[in-house]
């Protein structure tokens, strides 16, 4: 029999130290920033969960800085999701033909929008628009170029970038 992995028990010890000293600190900081204890607790616990799942925890020198960075990303993703949802529902409400979806269907659409939005992260507004006109509306590059005031060959370049992002964002 070999002993239980020393690396793992170090890891657990490290995590419990971080949890005791830094988790509270983060939750307090977030409460102060967000002005809502409930939301702050949510973000802090999600950040800590992601922190605990980091593959290279042993190289983390400043847990608070790392937790802050992760929390920032979690908050950004929450906000982004809320924006997407609100914008989608607002746009639906303004459409002449009303589209009826169950809450489950709606939740699925939001999930998809979040995934696509993440995949398109970092692209310019024109590149995003070009990709969406192609993928959602099936327009040709000439038609897209006309709408966006750019050449078809520029549309082609935007599409290449967007599809490269889709490849990177999809699971292998």
Partner 1 sequence: MPGVRHMPDPVASQAIEWMVLLRSGAADAHERTAFEGWRRADPLHEAACQRIERMLGRMDACPANAASRTALLAPLAKRGRVSGRAR
| Contact pick of 8, 61, 136, 149 for partner 1 (by CB under 8 A) | 136
Q: Give the integer Cα–Cα distance in Å for 156 and 158.
A: 5
Return the number of other C-beta atoms located less than 10 Å from residue 4's C-beta. 8
The answer to whether residue 141 forms part of the interface with partner 1 (CB under 8 A) is yes
CB 117 within 8 A of CB 110: no
State the nearest-atom distance from the C-beta of 17 to partner 1, in Å.
21
**CB-CB neighbours of 117 under 10 Å:** 15
Nearest distance from C-beta of residue 166 to partner 1, angstroms:
4
Residues 64-103 that bind partner 1 (CB under 8 A): 68, 71-72, 75-76, 79-80, 83-85, 87-88, 90-92, 95, 99, 101
d(CA 110, CA 104): 10
Tell me: does residue 124 bind partner 1 (CB under 8 A): no
When the beta carbons of 17 and 169 are compared against partner 1, the nearer one is 169
Contacts made by residues 160-165, CB under 8 angstroms, sequence distance 24+: 161/123, 161/127, 162/120, 162/123, 162/127, 162/128, 162/130, 162/131, 163/131, 165/119, 165/120, 165/121, 165/122, 165/123
Residue 36 is a binding residue for partner 1 (CB under 8 A): no
The residue ranges that bind partner 1 (CB under 8 A) are 29-30, 32-33, 68, 71-72, 75-76, 79-80, 83-85, 87-88, 90-92, 95, 99, 101, 108-109, 111-113, 115-117, 119-122, 125, 128-129, 132-137, 139-143, 152, 156, 159-160, 163-172
């Amino acid at each position: 029999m070999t002993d239980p992995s020393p690396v793992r028990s170090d890891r657990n010890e490290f995590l419990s130290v971080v949890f005791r000293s830094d988790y509270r600190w983060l939750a307090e900081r977030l409460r102060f920033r967000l002005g809502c204890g409930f939301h702050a607790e949510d973000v802090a616990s999600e950040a800590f969960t992601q922190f605990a799942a980091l593959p290279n925890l042993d190289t983390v020198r400043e847990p608070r800085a790392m937790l802050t960075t992760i929390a920032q990303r979690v908050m950004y993703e929450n906000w982004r999701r809320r924006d997407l949802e609100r914008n989608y529902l607002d746009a639906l409400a303004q459409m002449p033909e009303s589209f009826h979806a169950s809450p489950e269907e709606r939740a699925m659409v939001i999930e998809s929008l979040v995934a696509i939005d993440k995949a398109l992260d970092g692209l310019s507004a024109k590149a995003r628009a070009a990709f969406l006109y192609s993928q959602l509306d099936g327009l040709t590059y000439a038609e897209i170029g006309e709408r966006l005031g750019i050449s078809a060959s520029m549309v082609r370049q935007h599409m290449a970038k967007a599809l490269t992002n889709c490849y990177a964002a999809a699971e292998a």
